[in-house]
Amino acid sequence: MQVTLALREKAAQLLAADAATLAPVALANHVFLVMAAFVASEASVIGDLTLATFDGSAALSAGVGTQAEGLDPNNTNALITIKSPVGGWRWETTGVTNLPQTIFGYCMLDNADAVLLGCQTLDQTITLTAINQVVDLGSITITQQAGSMT
């Protein structure tokens, strides 16, 4: 069934404000870097991912509450942008433990680090080899493509 834009947009709005998933009231979701190759899919689970272990790779906490939501004007895809922490989605090597280390992507887990909410591979891997090197994701956006719901 081809759904209307209004229905698809409402679904994105509800998800962006859902306290049980993307919009916890107090206990922030966590974003981790992933240091082994993986395939991002709806069937992905935490066990598919190897979290980064370099000095400075600790999880970053997403902003709590309703996430930013809107439509891409070029294609009407619904977008949910995850609120970034102070300083942004940026990790920096602070020591040489476990270097070199190649970063293949990132994932978002719930606050208990028990539920995988999503994962994404990077367009290009990043190999960290020394102190003071940075992985900067810019923004984290969930995209619901225009189309059908079955």
Taking Cα atoms as reference points, which of 117, 110, 125 lies closest to residue 35?
Answer: 125
How far apart (Å, rounded) are the C-alpha atoms in residues 25 and 66?
8
Domain ranges of the chain: 5-144
**141 phi and psi angles, rounded to 5 deg:** -130, 135
How far apart (Å, rounded) are the C-alpha atoms in residues 104 and 93?
16
Model confidence, pTM? 0.94
pLDDT for position 1? 79
Q: What is the pLDDT along the chain (150 residues), one digit of tens a residue?
A: 788 889 989 999 999 999 999 999 999 999 999 999 999 999 999 999 999 999 999 999 999 999 999 999 999 999 999 999 999 999 999 999 999 999 999 999 999 999 999 999 999 999 999 999 999 999 999 998 886 454
Q: Give the torsion sign (CA, 114, 37, 64, 136).
A: positive
User: Is 31 in contact with 108 (CB distance < 8 Å)?
Assistant: yes
pLDDT for position 150? 44
